[in-house]
Amino acid sequence: MANRPTPTAIKKLAGNPGKRPMNDSEIEPTTGAPDCPDWLVGDAREEWNRIVPELDRLGVLTCVDNSVLIGHCATYGEIVATVKAGEPLKSALLGQMRAYACELGLTPAARAKLQSPKKGGNDDTEKFFQ
């Protein structure tokens, strides 16, 4: 099975490590954090309130990311409830949490592939005139 294509925004943050041409026709949903649904409560809502402002600050959220955010937060809430109840964690639940966390760049390994945009734009000419 082939690897999934990396979104252009992620390639740009990563510095395009493969040096392959960027997809200049990739769709670009409106950026910004989606609204938290009213029914997301407890530890799941606390997780939303913890991660969404930072992800929004980093500019990685769009208006269509709601379901991934909800899935992550709901899974987090379920894990916390399971641990608080003293029940054993199911590996499927942990795998689900890991998948959502990777999609959102919430793991050290996922973040290691990214770099923050330089202040003042993407002009690389300054490195040639030092």
Domain ranges of the chain: 31-116
Q: What is the pLDDT of residue 63?
A: 86
Return the pLDDT at 130: 46
Spatial CB neighbours of 94, under 8 Å, sequence gap ≥ 6 = 79
pTM of the predicted protein model: 0.72
Nearest in space to 104 (alpha carbons), one of 76, 81, 79, 83: 76
Give residue 118's pLDDT.
52
* Residue 12: Cβ-neighbour burial (10 angstroms; 0-12, 13-18, 19+): middle
Measured from the Cβ of residue 46, the count of other Cβ atoms closer than 10 Å reads 15
Residue 114: the pLDDT is: 66
pLDDT tens, residue order, the chain (130 aa): 666 667 777 777 777 777 877 777 777 788 899 999 999 999 999 999 999 999 998 888 888 899 999 999 999 999 999 999 999 999 999 999 999 998 888 888 877 776 555 544 444 444 444 4
Phi, psi of 64 (to 5 degrees): -100, 10
